[in-house]
Structure 1
Amino acid sequence: MASVLSAASPVGSEVFAAIALLVLSFVVLLILRYYLPLRATPAYVLVPIFFALWLPAFIVLLVPIDLASSAATDDVAARGIWFPPRLLLVSWRITYWLTFALTWFILPILAEYSDAGYREPRDRVMYSLRQNAQYQAIVLGSGIIGLVYYFITYGFRLVYLKGVVMALAYCWGLFLAIYLMGHGLVTIPRTLFRNASISGRLRRLQSNAPKLYERMEDAIMNLEELEVQVSELSKRKTGTARNFQEWIEELADMCNVPESRPGSSMPRIGAESRILPTVITEKYMADLTRQLDRARHTRSRYVDEWNLLLLDASRTQAILDSAASKKLDFGSATPGSSFLERTTILTPYTRYLYHFHVLPALRVMFAGFLALASACIIWSEMVRTALPSLSVIRLSVVHHWTGEKGQVGFAGQVIAALWILYMCAAALTSMTEVKVWRGRALVRRNTAYESGFWYASYVARLSVPLSYNFMTFLSPTVFTKTRFYDFLGQLIDFTPLGNWFDNLFPIFGPSPRVKRMVGFDMDLVDEEENESGYGTGSWREGRALIERELNGTSLSRREAIIGGSATRSTPILSVPAARREGAPQTPFATSPSSYRDNVAPPSSRAAAQSRSRIANSDGEAEDDNFFTSLGHRVKNTIDTIDTPKWFQEIGDGIKKPKWLGGDEEGTQPGSSSAAGSGSGSNSNNLDVRRWFGGGNDGRIRL
């Protein structure tokens, strides 16, 4: 076979691969443009993220090429895209080690650099190196066991050390990839099938609306608290604040507090000493900058999700209402709509037919097809060791057999690329639903740099384990001859430990009980399972909330109208008002006339959180010595001490409990009778029947 390939010319395959790489580059740029503004994003952010997305896409293309190159067909017409052995080996080396360097070193350092909060590049670099040194120390400590095992078994050699590093990185990536892919293989078909029902989709949107609205309110309240700190900090012109005057002015410009909302709606947090430390340090300023930047992106994330939910709900309601008139019109496109959304091709009647009849049928069809594909992947994983001849993926990719020798043609290459693409899509889809990623999220045109680095690193980290795991679905006579196996597979199968992990873990994986015990139980259960809406607001509340928001009668819309003339630092379509203490949980329960006059200060919990953040962030600066930092800590602690509640209530007397016939609410301590009671003796005397739920009529409830 090698002589046959050497006689042929790989020029056509190389040209095809070059064109495919250009297309992949264009697709990656479109993805970056969707989540990040290309002109305003620095180069140190765009270039690493581009390669972190481009390299996994190249791996999806390189695996089928490697299969066709090592198991080429005898028929020239059916032969696929192939590379010479040397070119394949160089391609795998460059792709793997670039991906390894990006995921374990470059992207984590740049992520912490962008999230440092310091002004000077040197300080940001030092902060990033310290944070990553701690992480790498934890990883190295967990990998010492593997190192000891290898060195005791095979001795200390450089090739063995490289094998340990590659095998441990593969095991960690496979652990996370299988866990996420298993959830995605179920979620993708189920989501398509459930969205085929128009009324069910609208009901789920309405059920999710109250919880999303509450999260948006909390994010806005958190940002307002931080902006108040910056506002008070900008008023301080004496003391240690003078050393950071330019920094404080930059934060004030970032917040734009007087112009971002009406002044009467700003929360009032006690005195200045309650929200600011007495001694302003560089570490406090960096922590405040970091918290402010995270809060702004969190606010942007939930506002964007809320606006998307409103748009989706309004379109779904319009599709449901079009059943009577047989005509569907979504109205004029929003300013942020794409070119395809602004283009009008269908008539109202054909649009009704497409959205009401054709699209649900297509969703059901694709849901069934992808569910079958998910079942084939799970089945192939289960039988790949015991009964490899029954693997569906093996039969679909390897079409040509000469005795026990399998051959992969162009059709097999296309099918293999589709299998790998679906496996990667299942794993990456689950990443957007996991709730343990420290609030990281992808936001359209406004993704935080740290979130972009983090998601890009895991896209690159999951591609290699999933690609090699796919190759093991095939016959050993096929994948053991590939350059990918020579480069990575031999190191994984080098010891019985790695071989057993690669064969058994994808089949069983960690049980839910083990995941909870080790703290790795990621809440992957879909929130849509809570049909009753208990604890999250019912679908009726969500329906009323969506209708008021769309009709412009909600408090958030009135806030936007009142503050619409102000210049905003970030585009926000709706900014809901802060919920007052003691108010009903529904976000539209406050009357319009009493809202402006009854804006209460934040709750004691929020104030306590602010003081806690100050206490935690006001640590010693790196440049201060121990005694100076200790003095700063003691002074800031004394200035923020509150008078204990028990000390304040010493003169109020001791109140009798209600179950002993004590005073009702609103009665002053020491009064002889409660207002509205039948007689003074009944309110003060002990009645044992009340312990069992009895009343004045003499009856006892059991």
Structure 2
Amino acid sequence: MWVFYLISLPLTMGMVGLTLWYFAGPDVPRYVRLTVGYTWFSSISIVMLVPADIWTTITNHDRAGISFFWGWSYWSTFLLTWTVVPIIQGYEDAGDFTVTERLRTSAHVNLVYYLCVGALGLCGIILLILLQKSWSGNILGFAMACSNTFGLVTGAFLLGFGLSEIPKGMWINADWSNRQKVLSHKVAKMAVKLDDAHQDFSNAIVVSQATSKQMSRRDPLRAYMTVIDKMLLHMLNEDPSFKPQGGQFGENDMDYDTDAKTMAALRRQLVIAREQYYRYKSEYMNFVTEALDLEETIKNYEHFGSNGWKFVSSFRPQRSGRIGSVVDVVELFWRCLVRKQLEKLSAIVLGCMSAAILLAEATILPNGVHLSLFSLLINHFKHNEVLEQVILETYFYFTFY
């Protein structure tokens, strides 16, 4: 068992760390990174716990340890999902100027959501009472059942989408002509969104600057405006290439300087507009870069032998020296020949895995009948702990990732 944990634990933590590094922006606070990382690890820990649970059940080992980890995973995920993460999310999203006010705003927003969910739960309980249905256990068990049902239904929808979309998407993307058309459509669509986001960000900047100019130094709200001015100055200094253009006033844009709440709304509008602009800008640049790389790949494929069996790029200088020449040759074979075939092979393998998972989910039969590929493999290697854990780990990592 220790061999399994030595492999699965670093692998799981590494995947969580890479995902966090890829998606987290440079301005994300450290406590948010730690909270999100721990949340993901608590949720994904099931890929370690389920194989270990199956193995302890088959071999009749002591279940005290695995029960403790199941409780830790469940309650950590439950508290983070319904309490900690929503509060932090609302806190970061609030535009208030003090910690207390931001926490109060976050609690108010989440309280509305909890009241709506609680009202639906109350309607369900009333419906059960009217139908004269009873259930064994207590309120806590009923709440856990509702939470599990929500998670299972959501997971089923997401899993069903991924099982078909990922292999199909990889197979379609391996076709260069089709991928070019898709990228052209995405670049055009994202250019429109980026232009709208630039307009919104420019409007927010113009409104903030105009509000600051019309507010006197003795105004009670001047301290709040000073915070917004410093934040705006930092935004403009960190990206000198951004130039506000076409900023316009709306009907109520000059009504922000009435009280602390409206000033908080102005600050929140500025932050949201900035984040949306840079999000669309990043996506637009990624699509453009991918389209240019694909165009280069196609050109090198069409002139495979005339370029001296080397990959020629128009966006970077040619590599020099013997090592550089070898790297150019390797890049040519990788981008023009190997990667395309590898993508098709991966699509076929993932498609077969998806079919195996669907077969496993659809053939849960009683009386020890095993029609699932994974069930057959597990029972065949049930006396070999390492192979059994590898099979289970492969199944769950593919399912969840």
TM-score range, shorter chain: 0.7 to 0.9
In structure 2, distance between residues paired with 1:27 and 1:246? 44
Letter in 2 for 1:25: M
Letter in 2 for 1:47: L
Residue 222 (structure 1) shift: 0.6
In structure 1, distance between residues paired with 2:117 and 2:102? 23
Q: Verify: 1:237 aligned to 2:215, yes or no.
A: yes
1:150-191 residue CA offsets vs partner (Å, 9 max, x unmatched): 776447x8x422221111011111121111211111111111
Percentage of identical aligned residues? 23
Q: Verify: 1:36 aligned to 2:13, yes or no.
A: no
Asked whether the 8 Å contact 1:269–1:275 carries over to 2, the reply is no
In structure 2, distance between residues paired with 1:16 and 1:424? 18
Asked whether the 8 Å contact 1:68–1:407 carries over to 2, the reply is no
In structure 2, distance between residues paired with 1:380 and 1:302? 40
1:446-502 residue CA offsets vs partner (Å, 9 max, x unmatched): xxxxxxxxxxxxxxxxxxxxxxxxxxxxxxxxxxxxxxxxxxxxxxxxxxxxxxxxx
Map 1:242-281 onto structure 2 (within 5 A).
242-256=219-233, 266-267=245-246, 269=248, 275-277=253-255, 280-281=258-259
- Using a 3 Å threshold, how does the CA distance of structure 1 residues 21 and 392 change in structure 2: closer, same or farther? closer
User: Counterpart in 2 of 1:362?
Assistant: 342
In structure 2, distance between residues paired with 1:319 and 1:150? 62
Q: 1:111 aligns with which of 71, 82, 89?
A: 89
Asked whether the 8 Å contact 2:212–2:225 carries over to 1, the reply is yes
Letter in 2 for 1:31: T
In structure 1, distance between residues paired with 2:151 and 2:245? 46
Residue 23 (structure 1) shift: 4.7
User: Counterpart in 2 of 1:601?
Assistant: none
Residue 280 (structure 1) shift: 1.6
User: Counterpart in 2 of 1:183?
Assistant: 161
- Using a 3 Å threshold, how does the CA distance of structure 1 residues 290 and 264 change in structure 2: closer, same or farther? closer
Q: Verify: 1:94 aligned to 2:72, yes or no.
A: yes
Asked whether the 8 Å contact 1:193–1:363 carries over to 2, the reply is yes
In structure 2, distance between residues paired with 1:160 and 1:150? 14
User: Counterpart in 2 of 1:329?
Assistant: 312
Residue 261 (structure 1) shift: 6.8
In structure 2, distance between residues paired with 1:111 and 1:347? 46
User: Counterpart in 1 of 2:320?
Assistant: none
Asked whether the 8 Å contact 2:87–2:110 carries over to 1, the reply is yes
1:518-574 residue CA offsets vs partner (Å, 9 max, x unmatched): xxxxxxxxxxxxxxxxxxxxxxxxxxxxxxxxxxxxxxxxxxxxxxxxxxxxxxxxx
User: Counterpart in 2 of 1:603?
Assistant: none
User: Counterpart in 2 of 1:396?
Assistant: 377
1:317-359 residue CA offsets vs partner (Å, 9 max, x unmatched): 111001243232346679xxxxxxxx97953233222211111
User: Counterpart in 2 of 1:218?
Assistant: 196
Q: Verify: 1:59 aligned to 2:59, yes or no.
A: no
Residue 208 (structure 1) shift: 1.8
In structure 1, distance between residues paired with 2:165 and 2:327? 34
Letter in 1 for 2:227: E
Residue 311 (structure 1) shift: 1.1
User: Counterpart in 2 of 1:283?
Assistant: 261
User: Counterpart in 2 of 1:411?
Assistant: 387
Q: Which secondary structure does the structure 2 equivalent of 1:318 belong to? A: helix
In structure 1, distance between residues paired with 2:183 and 2:175? 12
Asked whether the 8 Å contact 1:68–1:408 carries over to 2, the reply is no
User: Counterpart in 1 of 2:32?
Assistant: 45
Residue 315 (structure 1) shift: 0.8
Q: Which secondary structure does the structure 1 equivalent of 2:246 belong to? A: coil
Q: Which secondary structure does the structure 1 equivalent of 2:248 belong to? A: coil
User: Counterpart in 1 of 2:286?
Assistant: 308
Letter in 2 for 1:35: F
Q: Verify: 1:17 aligned to 2:11, yes or no.
A: no
User: Counterpart in 2 of 1:630?
Assistant: none
- Using a 3 Å threshold, how does the CA distance of structure 1 residues 381 and 297 change in structure 2: closer, same or farther? same
In structure 1, distance between residues paired with 2:128 and 2:2? 40
Map 1:296-695 onto structure 2 (within 5 A).
296-326=274-304, 327-330=310-313, 346-385=326-365, 389-400=370-381, 409-425=385-401
Q: Verify: 1:71 aligned to 2:58, yes or no.
A: yes
Q: Which secondary structure does the structure 1 equivalent of 2:312 belong to? A: coil
- Using a 3 Å threshold, how does the CA distance of structure 1 residues 124 and 52 change in structure 2: closer, same or farther? same
Asked whether the 8 Å contact 1:251–1:289 carries over to 2, the reply is yes
User: Counterpart in 2 of 1:194?
Assistant: 172
Q: Which secondary structure does the structure 2 equivalent of 1:390 belong to? A: coil
Greater shift in the superposed pair: 49-58 or 383-392: 383-392
In structure 2, distance between residues paired with 1:65 and 1:204? 43
1:60-79 residue CA offsets vs partner (Å, 9 max, x unmatched): 11111111111029xxxxxx
Letter in 1 for 2:77: T
- Using a 3 Å threshold, how does the CA distance of structure 1 residues 346 and 281 change in structure 2: closer, same or farther? farther
Letter in 2 for 1:57: I
Q: Which secondary structure does the structure 2 equivalent of 1:275 belong to? A: coil
- Using a 3 Å threshold, how does the CA distance of structure 1 residues 237 and 207 change in structure 2: closer, same or farther? closer
In structure 1, distance between residues paired with 2:225 and 2:124? 49
Asked whether the 8 Å contact 1:199–1:320 carries over to 2, the reply is no
Q: Tell me the TM-score normalised to structure 1 length.
A: 0.51
User: Counterpart in 2 of 1:504?
Assistant: none
Structure 2: stretches of 5+ with no match in the other structure: 305-309, 318-322
Q: Which secondary structure does the structure 1 equivalent of 2:114 belong to? A: helix
- Using a 3 Å threshold, how does the CA distance of structure 1 residues 14 and 258 change in structure 2: closer, same or farther? closer
Letter in 1 for 2:219: R
RMSD, matched Cα: 3.1
Asked whether the 8 Å contact 2:221–2:257 carries over to 1, the reply is no
In structure 2, distance between residues paired with 1:124 and 1:333? 48
Structure possessing the higher radius of gyration over alpha carbons = 1
Answer 1 or 2: which has greater helix percent.
2
In structure 1, distance between residues paired with 2:266 and 2:230? 14
